[in-house]
Structures are given as C-alpha cells and as structure tokens.
Chain A
Amino acid sequence: MTEKTQAHHHILPLSVYFTIAGILFVLTAVTVIVAGFDFGAFNLFVAMTVAVIKGSLVALYFMHLKYDNKLYGTALVLSLIFLAIFIGFTMLDTMYRGEIESIEGPSINKEAVIYNQDN
C-alpha cells in the first residue's frame, strides 16, 4: 500500500483565488449600488440572489466544495433545506393567523329584502 498523505490533494492555481475574490468584490459593490434603486418587491429578491451567488462562490472555491467529496456539500445543502422547512412552516402559522374568524361576507342588510325596503 502506498503511503497516503494529504500531499496529493488538489492545489488550485493562485489565479483562481484572485479571480473569485475579484468577483466577490464586484458583486458586493453591485449589491450596494443596486440597493439605491427601488424595485419594489424585487429588492429582496435581487439582494438575495447576489448573496446566494457570493455564498456559493465562497463555498465552492474557498471551501473547496467543488473539488471535495460530495458528502460535504450534501451536509451544507441539508442544513439549508432544514432551515427552509423551519422558516417555511413557522411562517405558515405567523402569516395566516386568525383567518377563520376574519372571513368577511357581504353584510346582511344589503341582501335581506326586509332591510332593503327601509332604504
């Protein structure tokens, strides 16, 4: 058996690190500038898209996920899925409270003949 060490792990060229850092800087600038404009509901979407791209770059290149065992990436994705479940299900409660009580039908006196006669 050959002696297995860490030595034959993937070594990335310097240019990869600097390119990624460069893209991250640019994206940071972009997200700040874009925040100055008002896209209404899309503000959050735009900001989060940029953040997700930046985050993925850090994870894929700086954290070597792109070259490593897929198990590690799976762990990260798993944590995000369960976070989404947590936030999603909780908001299923917080955004829809009291809906059964608050259903509003047309008011009675508009429909009922007896009231209409009075008007």
Chain B
Amino acid sequence: MSSTAGVNYLNEFKGIKSWLYTLDHKRIGVMYLFGVMISFLLGGIFAVVIRLELMSPGMDIITADTYNQMFTLHGAVMIFLFIIPAIPAAIGNFVLPLMIGAKDVAFPRLNLTSWYIYIIGAVFALYSIVAGAVDTGWTFYAPYSTTTSTAVISMTLGAFILGFSSIFTGVNFIATVHKLRAPGMTWFKMPLMVWALYATAVIQILATPVLGITLVLLILERAFGIGIFDAAMGGDPVLFQHFFWFYSHPAVYIMVLPGMGIISELIATFSQKKIFGYKLIAYSSMAIALISFLVWGHHMFTSGQSELAAVVFSFLTFFVGIPSGVKMFNWMATMYKGRIKLDAPMLWAMSFMFLFAIGGFTGIMLGAISIDIHMHDTYFVVAHFHYTMMGGTVIAFFGGLHYWWPKIWGRMYNETLAKWSAILVFVGFNMTFFTQFFLGSQGMPRRYYNYLDKFQPLHAFSSYGSWVLAAGFVLMAVYLIHSLFKGEKAPENPWGSLTLEWQTQSPPIHHNFENDVVLDHDPYDYDTRMVIDDKLIKKEDTEG
C-alpha cells in the first residue's frame, strides 16, 4: 500500500529493551497478555489438581492441608492475576485507543508502570507458595486470616499491590475515553466495548482503594494486633466482610462488564447487523456499575449481619438482573434476521450467552435470602460463580482473543481447530459445573476435602468434565502458538467489522493510524455499509 508496508508495532523496534521500556499501549497489552496467560495456566493446573483430589472421598493425591492451599491459590491466582486484568489490561489496552481512533492511552508511562506493578504483585502473591502457602481461601476472612500461621501477609500484600495496577489502568482508561477520542467520535458513536471498559474503569477506581485499605488493616491486625477485627478485643470480624465485599462484589462486574463489551462487538460483527438498542446497552453498562455498589451484603446473609441490612441487600440484588437482561435481549434481537456467520469468535459469544444466562439466573436465586440460607457455602454457589466468572468472563475473553488475534499478531489461526476448541470447552465446562448445581442442592459444602460416599459419582463426573475442559484449552494453546509462527497472513479486516481498529493494517503501525482519523459512520452501521476486501463501502454504491 504505502512505503511503510510491512513495518508494524511488533517489528519497528527490536530487542528485549524495546519491550521493557516501551510506552506503546499495544506492546503493553501484549505483555499483559503473556502475564495473564501464564497465570491462567497456573490457576488451571491448580484447578485440575483439585478436581483430581475430589475424584473420591478421602485422600487421593494430596493432603488436606495442601488441598486447602490449592483452592486458595486457585482462587487468588485466577481472580487477582487472571480475570481482573485479563480483559481490561490485556485486550482493552490493545484495542481501546484503536477503537476510539487515538494514538495511545492518556498516560503511557503510567500504563507501563501498571504492568510492572502487576508483575511485582504477582511475585509477592506467588512467593506466598514458598513462604508457607495461604489456606484462607481467596477471601482472607478474619479472624482466621489474622491467626493462621501461613503466609497471609505476603499474599495480601500481593493483592494490595495488584490493586494499584488495576487503579492505574482505570485512571488511564477514563482519561483516554474523555480526552482522546478522534474527531467525530461522540459518546454515542463509541463502540460498546469502549462503553464497557469505561464502566469497568469507573468501578476499578471507586472500589479498589477500599480493598487497599482493607488489606492494610488486615496486615496491621496480623502484624500488630490492633484489634479492629478481633472480637476478643472489642473488634468485629463481620466488618472485615463488609470491607472486603464492598470491593469484591463490584469486582465481579470489573470481571464481567468488559466481557459483555466483547460480546456486543462479536454479536454485531458476526450478525452483520446494526446492534439492537445501542443506547440501552451503553446505559446498562453504567447501570450495572452503579448497582454493583449497592448489593455487597448478599455475600453475608449468614454472617450475622442485621436482618434489616440483609433484606435491603437482597431487594437491591434483584435489580442487577435488569441491566443484564437488557443486554441479553438486545444481543438476541441483534442476531434475529441477521446474516450470522458462525466463525470461531461467534461460537464463543453464543457459548457466553448460554452460560451467562444460567449464571445470572442462579445468581438471582442466591440473592433471595430464603434460598441462600440453605445454599450458602455449598457447591451450588461454586457452580453459580463459575458460570458467571468462567462461563461469562473467561469465555468472553477467549472470544475476544480469537476476534482480535489477527489484529494483534497479523496472522490467522486454524479455524477448524478453533471451532473444536470452543465446542470442547463448552461441553467440558457444562460437565464440570452443571454437575455441581446438583451436588450443591443436595448439600455438598464447598471447600471440603472429604465428603459422603453418596456424592462420589457426581464428583467423579465433574472431574471427567474438567479433563474435557482442559483438553479444549490445550488444543487452543497448540493452534494459537502454531499460528504465531506459521499462521496465514491476516488481512486488515478479516471479519468485515466497521469499528475503527479494523481500519488500519494488521498488525497496526506504531502510531496506530497512518493518517489522522475522522469518523463518518456509527460503529454498527451494517445497514448502510459493508466491507469488501478490507475496503469500507456504502451499500448504495454497490447496489445502485
């Protein structure tokens, strides 16, 4: 095309230093991608070991103490090191500036700092394995976390540090969306992924500081015995739960909102149809962000909090269903009579809709006090949050990864294998976790090492499911790594999408766009525009 053809952000500068000192949001996104994928591998290995141990009652492969440490590490690694940074910091970092036609995020240096802080936090968190692995569960509930002899301080310090990384990303995204949009990109011409990332960033900056101060107080309590969470000294351990969940409930929307953003992009692109109810989807992202702060007490129905608070929290919890439902129906209405292409990313998107619907409905069930009292701390809860976090966020993450893969690396992957991977993961996931709804409703408590014989068949089935799931991910690793080296060259716009990131070369050049971007169409104008051979054209021109 032009003299710069062949030069892109990956090959313009060479050497390890050009990566370690880079201020390019795309490279930082890629570095985050490596970080989160390694974490996902680690957390996944922990999960498989847990499922192996639970094949039968009693000890199979690891001791009870190791088991406790294993599920704590699985939770902490998956949440703090994988899910929270996965979509915003890895994918979001890469696509957000491209999608709004900016040259970079608002504060590139802060962006790089946040990656280093992520690495430092990860080192602290993982050091706790060596220093006497934590066995508190990822929630670090007082008073156990303040009295156990394991390395709670190292792990909580890690989570504290990771919080800063998350805050920096949030600050960056908000400033970027407010100030760096290309000319013509008004708020309601932003792709829905950008809206979702914006709403996510708002939660990140409002909730994460409270987690920070909570963990500081936990460390002070442990190190100096300041008595704030210690009932024997006039303190109150339930307060810890309030503090923890004021962050951690909104945090589940830090996890799922950007996932919903990805799904909006996928559904519109692969239905080749104007998205149904654009404004409602955008507003529902903001509504979810707001409501997420009003419902944390539904994690504490059995903690001894006041009945009044429990009723209020339960009532408010039901409202979360509204904006989530709005999104669901809008996606389905978008698909209706669309020209649906079942490429691999679309399979992930449809998988998301199915799994997240189950996760959402069971969430409403658990939000009702009367059911929750019975289901609390059973496998029902475990199944529920895996359907939202894994069936929701993780599936969306991989959908997004496949979708933007050609843009990130400039290479395609093997489409057939990708479809098989999506199917294997979907089947394996349901085998593993739908089973756990039955286990939970029959009374199997979560986090238990040993269990009654009657639960054995279901536990075994769930473990078989985890192997299918693992096989799906291994397959994915194989073809994605293969594509990195041997993949077919990707065109600029393999999916025929109208959003801006597809209107620059793949992979993009260092400054993202060759010319200054001026936007002249909505992101989902599929009724009037289409893409043929990487060129965006008005339909009237072709149809006469």
Contacts and interface: CB of A to CB of B under 8 A. Distances in A.
Determine direct contact between A and B, CB below 8 Å: yes
Interface of A: 71, 78-79, 82, 85-86, 89-90, 92-100
Given A97-B304, A98-B306, A99-B308, 17 more contacts: A71-B178, A82-B293, A89-B294, A89-B309, A89-B312, A89-B313, A90-B242, A90-B246, A92-B306, A92-B309, A93-B242, A93-B305, A94-B239, A94-B306, A96-B307, A99-B306, A100-B307
B252 to A, nearest CB: 17
Given A82-B206, A86-B246, A93 B238 contact: yes
Contacts of B304: 97
B307 A99 contact: yes
Interface of B: 178, 206, 210, 236, 238-239, 242, 246, 293-294, 296-297, 300, 304-309, 312-313
Contacts of B242: 90, 93
A8 B293 CA distance: 40
Which secondary structure characterizes the binding site on chain A?
helix
* Residue among B239, B305, B306 facing the most chain A CB atoms (10 A cut-off): B306
11 contacts: A78-B206, A89-B294, A90-B242, A93-B300, A93-B305, A93-B309, A94-B236, A96-B306, A96-B309, A97-B304, A99-B308
B164 to A, nearest CB: 17
A71 B179 CA distance: 12
Contacts of B300: 93
A86 B210 contact: yes
A59 to B, nearest CB: 18
A86 B305 CA distance: 15
Nearest to A90: B242
A60 B242 CA distance: 33
Contact of B239 (A78, A90, A99): A90
A89 B297 contact: yes
Contacts of B236: 94
Contacts of B238: 93
Contact of B306 (A79, A86, A93): A93
B235 to A, nearest CB: 12
Nearest to A71: B178
A78 B201 CA distance: 14
Nearest to A91: B309
Contacts of B296: 89
Contacts of A85: 293-294
Contacts of B309: 89, 92-93, 96
A84 B467 CA distance: 47
A96 B308 CA distance: 7
Contacts of A94: 236, 239, 306
A73 B466 CA distance: 50
| List of 3 A-B pairs having minimum Cβ-Cβ separation, nearest first | A96-B306, A93-B309, A93-B305
Contacts of A92: 306, 308-309, 312
Contact of A79 (B178, B206, B305, B313): B206
Contacts of A99: 306-308
A95 B309 CA distance: 10
